[in-house]
Amino acid sequence: MVGLSQLAMSGSYLLSVLIFTPLVGALLLFFVRPESQTLARLVSLVFAGAAFVFSLIVLRDFEVGRQGMQLGEISQWIPSIGARYAVAVDGISIWLIVLTTLLTFLVVLASSSVSERVRAYLGCVLLLETGMLGAFLAIDGLTFYLFYELMLIPMYFLIGVWGGKRRIYAALKFFLYTALGSLLMLVSIVYLAWQHQAQFGEMSFFLGDWMALRFDFFEEVMLFAAFAFA
């Protein structure tokens, strides 16, 4: 991970367009009549396909062999606590986003097997895609946390409404585990930002800044356990 001075910035906002394209599609589905299943599938297919195309453009613009994060976008969000909207891509996340957009497109394409609440189902799928893309591309702890939480909401409904025979039990269990895990993750993220203030004089949620933090072995184990459990 690199610091802000080493982050390769992009003025195209391509990553943000990629992240929020499925969200726009999900919002547009609210204006589609529930009985218009074909139109709902068409809208979802267009936006899922557009996200896949944008991911291929990101792949094209990604410079293989270049060290560090690329196509970075940073905007001040809550300056008083050092929180930023910050996204970028590296050699690992580039393939995760291409895979995510491809699989989402295929899921929408195969949605003909869903016959109940089709509009809501497709909206959840697109919302889930935005959450996953944001989580994969976030380089700010608070930004990552918000996208991670956004990802869990449609997952809960997808399990509880369109799951198998024990879907209610599975959804409840999923909610309880993820709620506890999310709380532990949030505490860990805030602790890391607070430690940055203690060691460097200012709070920061930027992952590159966290790389300079120093912890004892116990702190490292506890932080790892909290993130691993989440």
- DSSP per-residue string spanning 161-224: HHS-TTHHHHHHHHHHHHHHHHHHHHHHHHHHHHHHHHHHSS---BHHHHTT----HHHHHHHH
Contact 147, 18 (CB under 8 A): no
3-state secondary structure of 156: helix
pLDDT of 114 over the 60 cut: yes
Q: 211 is written with which tokens?
A: 């790389």
Count of all residues that appear for the chain in the document: 230
Q: 174 is written with which tokens?
A: 């999923």
| Distance from C-alpha of 170 to C-alpha of 57, rounded to nearest angstrom | 38
pLDDT of 204 over the 60 cut: yes
Residue 7: per-residue pLDDT? 60
Q: How large is the C-alpha radius of gyration of the chain?
A: 19
Residue 167: per-residue pLDDT? 85
How far is residue 103 CA from its own chain's centroid? 15
pLDDT of 210 over the 70 cut: yes
Global pTM value? 0.89
> Which amino acid is located at 24 in the chain?
V
| Distance from C-alpha of 32 to C-alpha of 22, rounded to nearest angstrom | 16
